[in-house]
Amino acid sequence: MNITKLGPVGAQIDGINLRSALEDQAILSNIRKAFVDNSVLVFRNQNLDPAHLLSVAGIIGEPLKHPIFPGLQDYPEIIQIENLGEIYHTNAHWHSDVTFEEQPPDATFLYSLEIPDEGGDTLFSNQFLAYESLPEELKTELSNMKASHSNASILNLVGADISNAKRVFHPVFRTHPDKLRKALFVTQAFVEKIVDMDDKKSEETLAILYSAACKQEFIYRHKWSKGDLIIWDNRSVQHFAEHGYGDKVRTMHRITTAGSKPF
């Protein structure tokens, strides 16, 4: 098992077959440690059917059913993501997954089944570094403030009644429970505003935070190959899914695992 750093966030793990490693407790312990240490893990050339993918997700935590999108019939925790054309591509924005839940998922697992020969990169940004890059006076001002997160945008996307949208409140800066290190925790996908701040100032402040969240020097760009599995930590990473592959086939399996209330 060889670990190679990928830049400002992430590491690639080579020399491991995840299907055969599931019974090796020493390897599983090393994967868990590498996940906390690096926030993004890349495993190339894996061969994972849905049952094995579900077992691999269990290395990090309890697999969850998505609160809105249905999963596979026999594996409801696994969402199949397919290319429906760029007009229906919904992840071309920086975000952490499912932050509109009281306990957002700790980890996301994304496994590539079919990959086009161009486009479709996924970008990952280190939110520890994003937080640390902010001016000290802004960090002090926002240190105890929360932002409201809502699933209204997803409900609107699927044609559901947004009057049933849920709203939760999370710290603007989240403390990672394993590293006790602060990370920026606001996302354009789900944040409505900063609580107890007037709308204009909230909008201006969020623009500063969103800009910090995706600075080029904090980003790892992943170019997919068939059989890649990426695991990322939603507590310390935002990601952005590019399109750019037209109508070509692109099929992925995705799982999120249980989390805890941000603090």
Name the catalytic one among 149, 170, 235, 254. Answer: 254
Amino acid 162: pLDDT: 78
Name the catalytic one among 95, 176, 222, 250. Answer: 95
Beta bridge partner(s), residue 64: 256
Confidence of residue 250 (pLDDT cuts 50, 70, 90): very high
Per-residue pLDDT at 82 exceeds 60: yes
Name the catalytic one among 97, 106, 228, 233. Answer: 97
Identify whether 198 is a catalytic site residue: no
DSSP letter string over the chain?
-EEEE-SSS-EEEES--HHHHTT-HHHHHHHHHHHHHHSEEEE-S----HHHHHHHHTTTS-EE--SSS---SS-TTPEEEE---GGG----S-B-TTTTSSS--SEEEEEEEE--SS---EEEEEHHHHHHTS-HHHHHHHTT-EEEEESHHHHHHTT--GGG--EEEEESEEEPTTT--EEE---TTTEEEETTS-HHHHHHHHHHHHHHHT-GGGEEEE---TT-EEEEETTTEEEEE----TT---EEEEEEE------
Mean pLDDT lowest for which of 44-58, 126-140, 157-171, 247-261?
157-171
Rg (CA), the chain: 18
Closest CA to 207 of 90, 92, 94: 94
Q: Dihedral of CA 250/223/124/18: which sign?
A: positive
Confidence of residue 164 (pLDDT cuts 50, 70, 90): confident
Identify whether 239 is a catalytic site residue: yes
Identify whether 95 is a catalytic site residue: yes
Identify whether 222 is a catalytic site residue: no
- For 189-240, the pLDDT digits (tens) are 899 999 999 999 999 999 999 999 999 999 999 999 999 999 999 999 999 9
Amino acid 241: pLDDT: 92
DSSP letter string over 145-161?
-EEEEESHHHHHHTT--
**Domains annotated on the chain, with CATH:** 2-257 (3.60.130.10)
| Higher per-residue confidence, 166 vs 75 | 75
- For 50-74, the pLDDT digits (tens) are 999 999 999 999 999 998 889 999 9
Name the catalytic one among 149, 176, 239, 250. Answer: 239
